[in-house]
Structure formats: structure tokens, C-alpha cells
A and B are shown apart, each in its own frame.
Chain A
């Protein structure tokens, strides 16, 4: 039972009916979904949620669409793993990894697109659209296929082949746009105004963004119905970051967890860090940047929710940090080598960002810390490939193997001693 009731402008508070719109007609501020939480009191219980499906749709009561109308390809309820080895490396005694790499198209975008595609179908759109450099495109193409909608996906003309295939396989209309990032951005904004499509992060954005809340919901449930002390998440537009916190607050409002302050800290790549830069300047004004980083999934130079991300981190006594491309690669390797999770570049940003925050004393050693890993490493293999050891090449006999191993490692294999 969805209790979404209306849209409200986050700036001037004007209210609108639930319709495909994301901008206030009066002040052009962003719109947000408003729920009747009072109607959920007593209806939503821990038991009801625990009896739900093992997907993000177990929290359908807190989403703007009913579960039975969901376009669900099995997204969410991803593992929350205790990370003792990585914790030791970083100096954290209670570190957890929220592994959203394992979603159907291998990123957290499935959460937002699952909601957006469901709402789009409710509004009787025939076409689902987006502009993306990777993860969002994959997810929109997949969900449109599942929902029986047409998909129109805009990508930069110079996008890597692996990312194109990850969308093309679902059969969308793929449009490679020849132009700069700003050109693609402008074109897609204009298309969003002109065509009667569900552009997931334009006219469907208020609903789309709500999908990220389920990361906050899940983490609390998986911690045994308690909020983390400290969350660290990647920041691109800033929407994911603010919605994780909203998800945690919703559970507290409904009495499903005890209220306790959760600190929200965000990480960006140094080559595109407008939010972290504003945080460092102690300013509310985001200075747009031209992205130049290997963390393409975070390369939003003019973040739509940057101000709200700053507000969330300041309200919660969290902070922001930015890491270099070299540190991003080290972060990917560290997570892989300590916990067996191969993250894309955004994950490297989070792990290296967390290391930096711990060193600076901005994350406490005994806090319950959750690091959000939002996409799988197979999508950005080119980032780590140059720094990995090549395979040993041997002949098909034991002598050759042992000789090769000794040459590289200076020791013989353990099996020899057994």
C-alpha cells in the first residue's frame, strides 16, 4: 500500500498532484514525493517487512508505487558483510560493506530504475529514456525490457565498448551523441521537454530518487534493526547520499528502529569533486567543475542535489573527502584483496575516502561504519588492468610451474612442503 500523496517543492513548499514532473512551476525548485506516514503507523512493522520478498520491494510501503505494480528484476536486499580484514587495514573495529555490486545489472541504479520504470508504466508512458555513461543506461535498458516498454538510451559517442554492450544486449534504441559532455547534457534536457517519454532522471526524477532510500532501509534491518553510527557513500549528483539518510530517518519515524544520530560522510574523486570542494570551503555554493577522473560513474560536474548533500552532511556532523585517481585504484585493490569484492571505480573512491577520513580522525575507530559499494568492478576493468600482476606463463609440467613461481615470488609453492 503506497501512501505517496503528492509532490512538494523542496524550496518553496508548493504542492502538486502525483504526476510526471520534477520542477516547481513557481520557483523551478526540485520536487519531492510526500508520504502520509501517519497512515503507515501500526501497518508497517518489522514482521511485515521481514515477511516480504527478498528484494527492495519488501519496503514497498515506503515507495511511491504499489508492490504488485513493480517492475522487479530482483533488485536489492543485497548483502551487508562484516569486513574484519579491511577494518584492520583501515583501523576500524566494526566496519560493514553494503555490497550493491550484486544487483541484476551490477549497480545500485537498479533500485532507482526499478521505481522509475514502475511509475512510468503507471503513468502509461510507452518509452523509458535516460542519458548515461554506463550504469544507468544498463539498468534502464534492462528494466524497459522487463516492463515491455521501449527504451531510448543516450550515450556519449566515445563510450567504451563493454559499456555499450551492457546496454545494447537488452535491445534499446541506443543513441551515441557526438559532442562534449555539456552538449549531451543540453540535448537530453531539451529532449526531456519535447518528447512524451519517461526520462527517468528528468520528469520521473522525484520518484526515481526514492529508490535509493531502500539502501538505508536494508542496512538498518540487516544490522538487526538499528541505524549505523556512520555511513560513507559515493557522491555524484548527491541524490543517493541524501536518500540513504532519508531511508534511515523514515524507519525511525515509524518506530521500527530507535532514533540515534547517524553521521553521513561522502566521497568524491578529486577530478570531479564539486561537493567536497564546497564542503572544504565551508560554503553552500557548489562551483561546477569539468570532470576529469577515471571514476566516470561519479563524474557529475554540476550536481543537482549537491546543496542537499552538503546539508545532510552538516546536519549529521559528517564530512566530505576527495581522492586522486591513483588512490581510487588502490581502494579497488584493497577491497578486492581483503574482502573479495571487486568494485568499480566508485567503490575505490569510497574505500580510499574512508581511509582518508579515518586518518584524519573524522571516522571513529569503534563506530559501526557502513561503506556503500555501488557498482561492480567488471564494468571498469580498464581502470585496474594496468596495475595488476600478469599471469605466470608456464609449460604443462610441475618443474616449469615451480621455476616460474620461484622467479616471481622468490619462494616455492607451499604444496612442496606438504
Chain B
């Protein structure tokens, strides 16, 4: 089993989509939300995903396909 800490950022119309619920239904991955901030214009959710490493990666690819931005929990680590 692996765990991945990640951040999803939703823009505009995606706010109303139950992306995390769908992720848990479609993939054998446990979702554990730790911190979030959602408004009517945008939102972000920091969560931990637990499951088989390949399954987690497939689930994250699927989230990206939904036009949700997926980032490491550290945000940008490449600096100038």
C-alpha cells in the first residue's frame, strides 16, 4: 500500500462536480481530506490518497483528465 499527499485545485464550473466522490467510486483508493477551501469561484482540497501505487497514479491521471489541477502538497518546488 502507498500513500500520496496531493492538492487538487478546481476552477469555476468544476466546483459543483463531486470529483472526489467519483474518484473513490471509480478507483480502489481511500481519500482522506485534510484541509480545504472552497468558494463559489474556485476551490482547493489537500488530501491523502491511500491504495496501490499504480491505482493511485491511474486515479490522479483521471482527475487531471477532468481538468482539475493536481499538484504536490509542497506546491512548486522548482525555484529561480
Chain A residues at the B interface, C-beta cutoff of 8 Å: 11, 22-23, 26-29, 109, 130-136, 154, 156, 181, 184-186, 188-190, 192, 199, 201-202, 205, 236-237, 283-285, 287-288, 296-304, 346
Contacts and interface: CB of A to CB of B under 8 A. Distances in A.
A154 to B, nearest CB: 8
A29 B13 CA distance: 26
28 contacts: A11-B35, A23-B74, A27-B34, A27-B35, A28-B5, A28-B35, A28-B46, A109-B79, A132-B79, A135-B79, A135-B80, A136-B80, A185-B71, A185-B78, A189-B74, A199-B77, A202-B74, A237-B79, A285-B42, A288-B69, A288-B71, A296-B80, A297-B80, A298-B80, A299-B80, A300-B78, A300-B80, A302-B69
A296 B79 CA distance: 9
B34 A28 contact: yes
A68 B25 CA distance: 56
B11 interface: yes
Given A285-B42, A288-B69, A192 B74 contact: yes
B72 A236 contact: no
B54 interface: no
A41 B80 CA distance: 37
A185 B72 contact: yes
B80 A22 contact: no
Interface in B59-78: 69, 71-78
Contacts of B73: 23, 28
Interface of B: 5, 9, 11, 34-35, 37, 39, 41-44, 46, 48, 69, 71-80
Most A CB contacts (10 A, CB to CB) among B34, B42, B74, B79 go to B79
Contact of A29 (B35, B71, B76): B35
B11 A301 contact: no
Contact of B80 (A134, A190, A205): A134
B77 to A, nearest CB: 5
A178 to B, nearest CB: 14
Contacts of A300: 76, 78-80
Contact of B77 (A23, A29, A185, A285): A185
A237 B72 CA distance: 14
Nearest to B3: A193
Given A23-B5, A28-B46, A303 B34 contact: no
Nearest to B75: A304
Most A CB contacts (10 A, CB to CB) among B34, B41, B72 go to B72
Contacts of B11: 287
Nearest to A156: B78
Nearest to A181: B78
A181 B75 CA distance: 12
Given A11-B35, A285-B39, A302 B71 contact: yes
Nearest to B79: A136
A12 to B, nearest CB: 8
Cβ-closest 6 pairs across A and B: A297-B80, A189-B72, A304-B75, A131-B78, A136-B79, A300-B76
A185 B76 contact: yes
A22 B76 contact: no
Given A28-B46, A288-B71, A201 B77 contact: yes
Contacts of A136: 79-80
Contacts of A130: 79
Contacts of B35: 11, 27-29
Contacts of A202: 74, 77
A109 B79 CA distance: 10
B79 to A, nearest CB: 4
A229 B26 CA distance: 56
